[in-house]
Chains A and B, each alone.
Chain A
Amino acid sequence: TVADESGNFMPGVNIILKGTAKGTVSDSEGKFSLSVPGNDAVLLITFVGYGTTEVQVGSQTSIEVNLQPDLTSLDEVVVTGYSFDKRRELTGSVSTVKTKDLTVTPTGNVEQLLQGRVAGVTVISNGQPGTTSQVRVRGFGGFGANQPLYIVDGVPTLDISFINPDDIETTTVLKDAGSASIYGARAAAGVIVYTTKKGKKGQKLAVTYDLMAGVSTPGKGQDMMNPTDFADWTWNAIRNTEDANARAGGVAPDYATAFAKFNHPQFGGGLTPVIPDYINVGGAAGVTGSVDLAAEKLKYNIDPRNGSIYQVVKANKQGTDWYKAITRTAPIVRQTIGVSGGGETHRFYIGLSQQDQQGILKNNSFKRYAARANSEFDVLPNLRLGENLQFTYLQRLGLSGGDGGRGISADENDILSAFRMPSIIPIYDEFGGYAGTAAKGFNNPRNPVASRDGQANNTAYQAMAFGNIYLEYDVIPGLTLRTSIGGNYYQNRAHNYSRWQYENSENNSAFGYSEGGSYRFGWTFTNTANYKKTFGDHGIDVLVGQEALNTGKGWDDNESGLNPFSWDPNFINTTNTNSRQAGSYYDNGANMSSYFGQVKYAFKEKYILTGVLRRDGSSVFGVNHRYGTFPAVSAAWRISAEPFMQSVSFISDLKIRGGYGTMGNSNPIVQYNKNNQYTLYGGNVGNSSYDISGSNSSATTGFYRTSIGNKDTKWETAVTTNIGIDGQLFGGKLDVIIDFWKKDTKDLLYQLPLPATVGYNATPPYVNVAKMQNKGIDIFLGNKGNITSGLSYEVNVNGSFLHNEITEIGGGQKYMTTVNPGFRGINPIRNQLGQSISAFFGYQVQGIFQSSEEVSTAATQSGADIGRFRYKDINNDGVINDADRTFLGSPVPKFTGGMNFTLRYKNFDLTAYLYTSLGNKIFNVSRWFTDFYPSFQGAAISNRVKDSWSPTNTGATIPIFESASNFSTNTQSSSFYVENGSYLRLQNVTLGYNLPTALLEKFKMTKLRFFVSANNLFTITGYNGLDPAVGGAADTNFGIDVGNYPVTRGYTGGLNLAF
């Protein structure tokens, strides 16, 4: 019988009689039988993710083996590019992740699960269910399209969200050229190879059921002022403004006049503010006393189609917690049924899964139903036919943020609205309608509850099919031919409704409806021949192959209209709307044609040499540069096998690896501008139409140059160098993997900005001009052992240091002029030579001006006054201007790492998993809205402002709270907004209990485990915003927090059951 470390039976374990080809596989109860020639027989027992165990049979007739999981088993079979390798023989930099690590956290997209699991992989994500994440393997190779290539059962894809974590068998990250350049032109950003579960030969039918259910809690919002404080601080702002004006005019401040002039519509014009009882009674503000509600109800109207709006809104004197109002405790369920089995000539796995995850924001959710069927048949003893196929239904609702959700932190979304709505405004008016800033004096935030509720009828879905069919033929022993045809079909449709608003100061003045959809079909055709043979001490492994693919052809369409007769969603379609618009778009995809080969030679498993060569052709490049060739060599020396090392007793195994090679990248063009080689003209009603006939109601569409082509554009090339060691110390107690690496990307694809004279609307072509360097150290340490009998532990730590630097921009340019995102007039980003990508740029706040003397003796600074920012005169010329801007930090973490700690005691297991990101900065521009009075005066104020500068609070970092909005207050990008984004988070703690074997047998089960988990139990950070996990949609532009969707605490429980 074979069982795992916790005593669970292990089906599908390989048992081989050492020195022979004879072997068997354990059945669903972990049982096996094998006849052995005699007492000397040795069984080799192997299973993916577990160490090889050798058992001396001796005279035993019944053998019970408990396999121990391996941290980095040297004999682990690693799925690499187009083939399998033993970790012992790897020469490149490869990391693997265990499936059980991928299934502990309740996340909708498996890419997110790599966070903190693999040294050298940086993942920045947010709390939205189903969001995409910034997944970066060894830094940011280029200015865009840096996401890794995913290979699922041999088929490449860039979107992995359809995969159910419970279906995954192996996850392998190929990090350097030595391992990844077999994928040539698409490998520069790293390759992540997934295989899904398969049945084993001779395996009895096994059924597994995995359930996870729980909740995420919204946590607390930002600390905003209550109505009384809000009114008082509004008064402070007027007082402070009067002080400044009086000082400028050389007169004494006259507060009474200042308040009278200011005359707040709600709080009056007296020396102290008066909190009204009603903030809106039919348009009148600041109403004190009682209101005849019965009479008012007769005038009530919240339907703009029926004339003027008439609302009665009571002041919420206790204060509305708007964050609480838009959030909820959100449930999550994930369950998977797996059925696997195999006979002599066939093997299969079927996975049926459901995930339903609600977001902490209302009307935000992720659903996935997936059916996976993998099977393989031995048509002949040496001919196998197989398929891996998944059908998926995916639904993401209420997701916001660019590029599939990862851009949310930079959006002015409902989360920001919750921190802009003054707490005195209630959620609803007296008669059930929404309350909002239609009550005067509170500026323009929109009621976020109304906004979330308005999305209730929005719907969307994606239907996908993904997989491949393959044939494998063993021509002679060691030589296998394989052909595979893979496909990727995708279809989606979405319907969106937008409210005709009435409750805000700025309202949408129409009811909108839009719908749209798209489909894509891509294919991959791969043929390989692999020859593996050992001749005495010499082992060779040769792979040659050919691949052709199309990234996906298809159409998109979208339609919209306004003001249908009825707002009932059952009535609405575009036919029933007015002002209809329709559009469509087609995409031919990109074609690629590739040839590749790999030769590996090993001498006594001591000296290993690998060479890889791939030649890729792509339709996205002009004929001059359509093909690129990407070679790599790597070697390893098992130094521990040398006689001179035998005396070093604490080293069990030590291998030194080194590799050098190039990988290509065409992703920026494939993803963003497939027509890069062509100059194109186009036009649409928005950009180039004109009412040439003077009709007042129609416009003719004209054509202008939309993009400029370049036929000389070619592949970008990443040159990587990697030196690493793999070691096992102290008899396998400590595993060490360390890699020193450097990745220089040259001929970097960049849309080199053209002078405006060329035409601002014509997209510049990508040209190969820039250079970027990434370098770092990846470390993995694993330790395991027994504390006492029955109590064992396992700790593994991984960490990576990263340095990212732009080393050339091209065209003689010093920075990227075209990437200059603006946030209400603040431009925080500059991608400049010698700095990291997406670095923050602006004025360095030296302090707050404390006195008129300080203002007059300091460098000349526009708008300078007491209590305002004093910027540093970087060039010491006595004037603060553009030239004094400097770099204020980078959102690229200097170090990321994870720690996984497991304790096992008898049938219990306890796992804790921590993640840390260090050295990254966040540009918290949300403070522009909440910490400054004039940004949108009347909107909510942060409680932080109570610590703003005043003559009696001179040590403050927040400037004086006043009306002025100028260069010295809130209008410039400055270090005020830059905060330390480092954090340490306990991502998951899980306590599990396995039913003892004896009990299991009674119920005919092979495994029953119960678990409870807490996710994101705590986060240690100095960051002021909601959550320090701040990403972005584009790598040249991330780390900006306007309204980040936080990763919050959650609790789950569940069971794992197997028959």
Chain B
Amino acid sequence: LNEDLLATPQGIEASLIAVYSQVNGRGNRMASPSNWVWGSIRGGENNKGTDPGDYSDINPIQRFEAQSTQGVISDKYNGLYEGVARANATMRILPKTDAKGSAAIEAQKVKVEAQVRFLRAHFYFELKRGFNNTPYVDESVDYQKGIELVGNDKDLWPMIEADMQFAIDNLPETWSEAGRVNSWAAKTYMAKILLYQHKFDAAKAIFDDVIANGKTTKGAKYALLPNFSDVFKASNDNSAESVWAYQSAANTGSVNNANPEFDLNWPYNTGPDGPGNCCSFFQPTIEMGNTFRTAAGLPLKNRAYDLPANELKTDMGLESKDPFTPDAGPVDPRLDHTIGRRYIQYLDWKPFPGKAWIRNQPNAGPYQTKKYVYYKTDKGTNQDNSSWTPGYTAINVNIIRFSDVLLMAAECEVEAAGGSLTKAMDYVNQVRTRAQNPADFVMGLFNAGATTDYLNPVMDYTKPAADYQIALYTAADFATAADARENIRMERKLELSGEGHRFFDLMRWSFGATPTYGIDDINAYLTYEAPKIPSGAFTGAKFTKDQDELLPIPQAQIDIQTPDILKQNPGGY
């Protein structure tokens, strides 16, 4: 197929589809927008899990010992640039497409361009926050047109903003096809881009508009779903909470449409009794579990949740056949929608059996992830069996969802001139109110007295699985900007755990009044976690300032483009 065949009204659509397609990285799992390694593992929400030697290329990432030659880093860089290249290819084809005087085709061309530029802004945004500046290439440079001479000396932000502004200006509010981006998604993404640059005033203005007027591609006004757990069900894809999500689909003929980046991130050795069956990657950290501890319905401050008195009780070191009773203390109900833990009902499968579903507990801890896991009732429909493992689903991957928007807006209320701490609290409380919904509590209390066979626990499904205590914040909690900031940041950790945001949040929070916020947080987490993991996976690991904030530019790219043109990031690479 040559370029001329694509320069047609059908061809530009097909070329656009390929750009959308690349958003999940396709063959490059590390380039997916789930950011499970780059956002969640580096953020301390989850660890690599599995065996020490399995996919050991991720080990240095979770230990903050990245090297420029690592395959996972190239994988991210390559996958994102493939997206940029597909966007640029479409941009080159657009002007060659002769509308033959048709206004409809001219309008279509503009809409295609707007979608392409939205997606290109997204790829560059991911590059920017991963690597800082990387070469900016648009449709004007290409093979034998000087592309190898483009270095990383230019700030990417202005170009990202320009692309996103074009999208805002030219995208429609709604589409008949749910998978297309609309102008509200573009506005929201623009606000996020501004937030990352600490341009709070401009970001706040957009968030205000989005929260007041924003709607989904299918025309639904943005809102939180009634149940927190509904966000991660394939049947709720493209709900009112979905601002922009990667459209996943099962049984399409390729599992690349069914979240291939998650295919390792499932409980292990479940057989047909549980989902995925492999490979025990991406297990929540012990520290993340502790974070859900509440007191008077509110999270604990100053990492008090990691104190021995407050830690969650786990079955670390126990066999599934050994006696165990789950933690009886107060916890945020989102804990059991986020983390699979012993004797808590695991979706509609069965009570989580602990070590039996974990590949290597001494290396990876007692938990399994729960978000983006398919339900037993979805087996075969919203789940895809056509590859080597069953862990492929049709659950859309949220890139921006509405509770994320509310919490970003809350930050702006704290930081922007003219912001309101009350409004910030209101946004946070909206998120917490939804989490309070008792109808969404995980049910099934372990009955220790009646259980004799610990492999087959007796459960009381009329009672909640744990002591769920969650309260709203009051004005006193948001009295100062510092308090407000802390509460919002904590809320993001609880609400968005495992969704790939945290590391990037920690880095952008390291500014102004809290210049070492992220570094301190990560080092505290590593210090806490290391002795809990007997394999030594975290022993001696630490975050180094002015180095580990960014990933190294892949060495192979520097070797191809030469170090004079492509400069390495700070750090001893």
The residues of A with any CB-CB pair to B shorter than 8 Å are 241, 244-245, 248-249, 258, 260-263, 265, 283-284, 304, 307-309, 438, 440, 443-444, 502, 505-510, 562-563, 579, 581, 678-705, 708, 753-762, 811-815, 817, 820, 822, 824-825, 827, 862, 879, 881-882, 928, 932, 934-937, 963-967, 970-971
Contacts and interface: CB of A to CB of B under 8 A. Distances in A.
Contacts of A506: 277-279, 389
A693 B394 contact: no
Nearest to A822: B71
A708 B556 CA distance: 20
B52 A963 contact: yes
A757 B250 contact: no
Interface in B239-266: 247-254, 256-257
A241 B71 contact: no
Contacts of A508: 388
Nearest to A260: B317
B179 A702 contact: no
Nearest to B69: A882
B53 interface: yes
Nearest to A265: B319
A161 to B, nearest CB: 31
Nearest to A965: B52
B2 A678 contact: yes
B561 A755 contact: yes
28 contacts: A248-B540, A261-B534, A283-B455, A444-B279, A506-B279, A681-B5, A684-B254, A689-B254, A691-B248, A692-B20, A692-B179, A696-B249, A697-B249, A697-B250, A697-B252, A698-B252, A702-B17, A703-B15, A756-B82, A759-B88, A814-B559, A824-B53, A825-B56, A862-B60, A879-B572, A964-B52, A964-B536, A965-B59
Contact of B178 (A309, A693, A700, A702): A693
B14 to A, nearest CB: 5
Interface centre among B21, B74, B85, B177 (most CB of A within 10 A): B21
B89 A704 contact: yes
Contacts of B148: 754-755, 757
Contacts of B536: 241, 244-245, 248, 963-964
A89 B533 CA distance: 78
Interface in B474-508: none
Interface string B56-85: 110110000101110100100111011011
A473 B485 CA distance: 97
A696 B535 contact: no
Contacts of A936: 51, 53-54
B557 to A, nearest CB: 6
Interface in B531-557: 531, 534-536, 539-540, 554-557
A821 B82 CA distance: 20
Interface hub of A581, A678, A966 (most chain B Cβ within 10 A): A966
Given A704-B21, A756-B81, 19 more contacts: A283-B271, A438-B271, A682-B1, A690-B257, A692-B20, A696-B249, A696-B250, A699-B253, A702-B21, A703-B17, A704-B22, A704-B86, A756-B78, A758-B85, A760-B78, A813-B559, A881-B572, A935-B51, A964-B535
Interface in B268-300: 268-269, 271-273, 277-279
Nearest to B378: A696
Nearest to A764: B143
B560 interface: yes
Contacts of A862: 60, 65
Contact of B386 (A510, A814, A970): A510
B333 interface: no
Given A258-B534, A702-B18, A813-B559, A689 B362 contact: no
Interface string B388-406: 1110001010000000000
Contacts of A881: 67, 572-573
B570 to A, nearest CB: 15
Contact of B6 (A245, A703, A762): A703
B26 interface: yes
B560 A813 contact: yes
A309 B78 contact: no
Contacts of B396: 694
B560 A811 contact: yes
Contacts of B359: 443
Chain A to chain B: the 6 pairs with minimum beta-carbon distance, closest first: A759-B85, A702-B17, A694-B178, A702-B18, A965-B52, A691-B249
B338 to A, nearest CB: 23
A505 B251 contact: no
B385 interface: yes
Contacts of B88: 759
Given A506-B278, A692-B179, A825-B56, A680 B1 contact: yes
Nearest to A811: B560
Given A881-B67, A965-B56, A705 B252 contact: no
Output the residue of B252, B268, B573 with the most chain A CB within 10 A: B252
Contact of B51 (A443, A693, A698, A815): A443
Contacts of A258: 534
A308 B386 contact: no
A245 B539 contact: yes
Contacts of B390: 509
Contact of A304 (B60, B253, B272, B278): B272
Contacts, number: 313
Given A691-B248, A760-B78, A817 B2 contact: no
B86 to A, nearest CB: 5
B256 A704 contact: no
A639 B78 CA distance: 63
Contacts of A705: 85-86, 89
A688 B249 contact: no
Given A703-B1, A758-B143, A758-B147, A691 B534 contact: no
A241 B536 CA distance: 8
Contacts of B81: 756-760
Contacts of A507: 277
A509 B277 CA distance: 9
A507 B6 CA distance: 42
A168 B358 CA distance: 60
Contacts of A700: 17
Contact of A932 (B22, B53, B179, B572): B53
Contacts of A708: 143
B511 interface: no
Contacts of B321: 284
Contact of B556 (A581, A759, A817): A817
A581 B257 CA distance: 15
B19 interface: yes
A704 B15 contact: yes
Contacts of A755: 135, 147-148, 557, 560-561
A815 B249 CA distance: 40
B247 A970 contact: no
B329 interface: no
B251 A579 contact: yes
B382 interface: yes
A623 to B, nearest CB: 16
Contacts of B326: none
B363 interface: yes
A758 B559 CA distance: 15
Given A688-B17, A694-B177, A702-B15, A248 B56 contact: no
A966 B67 CA distance: 13
Interface string B142-154: 1100011010000
Contacts of A966: 52, 59
Given A562-B386, A755-B557, A697 B534 contact: no
Nearest to B5: A681
A581 B385 CA distance: 13
Contact of B252 (A440, A685, A704, A760): A685
Interface string B13-57: 111111111100011100000000000000000000001111111
Nearest to A966: B59
B257 A245 contact: no
B11 interface: yes
